[in-house]
Structure 1
Amino acid sequence: MGTGITTNPLRGTLRLGAISTATTGLLPPFLRLLATRYPGIEAYILPGTSRDLCDRVLKGELDAVLIIEPPFPLSKTCDYTVAREEKLILLVEPEFAGADPLALMGRLPFIRYDRSTWAVCWRRGGWKQRESHKSDMSSTWPERSA
């Protein structure tokens, strides 16, 4: 007579949202680990902005999201865990290497990330920029600034 206990009882679909930078960095190793540890779990991935993905979790449309830290307190039904912290970098031409980044941001053209995203670091730092381009794809920034 069997005990009814299986070694890996988890089955179903994990509805996961991810911002563009997470889809190229955090998501691939996570999906490999998920497939190895929980072969009965199928991942459904929805790309989007932090704001949109957070709203979808609150509506019950997604189970979890990889997003930028929300700039507001979360609903009591949700929890936020830091998966990775990254440095904010300023990509400039060689002639500006070593210059004060904050001074350069006010002087040089700046490629701004999509306005609909949460730019918590900008608000916290009170930094001003001279916008010249807007983009929601960080992988294209070096090419656009050339």
Structure 2
Amino acid sequence: MPTIHTAASDADLQACSEVILFLRPLLQKENLLAQIKEMQEEDYRIVYIAADDDPSKAAAFAGFRHMNKLFSGKTIYIDDLACLPAYQGRGYAALLLDHITALARKEGLRSVQLDSGHALHPAHRLYHRQGFHISAHHFSQPL
């Protein structure tokens, strides 16, 4: 069973850069570390599974934060979840979701939440298998 690591150092964050940029290709690699560090000041955390053929890089990662909302109470919100194509189908995303859910339960939180693009049907199947349900539509207004 793969080990889930918490990204605590710059080296850990660098190890995650390929899978992060796979999920978020519009980000600039040269600014990525600074942006993540700024987000960490707002309780953003990353957990990841190292690639079995190259432990210096992440095969899959999840980025999340703790939130407290009127409608849901204390929760973990998953901002990001991705697996590099070469490592898909190994259950890594499910393992990361299980890890985050266990963390939320241990902390006595009320839920784990995430948003997903409307056309990402394989991801939606995974979320349903993991016990998530569709509870809302997410709206945004670009400024």
What is the TM-score when the length of structure 1 is the normalising length?
0.25
The structure whose Rg is larger is 1
What is the TM-score when the length of structure 2 is the normalising length?
0.25
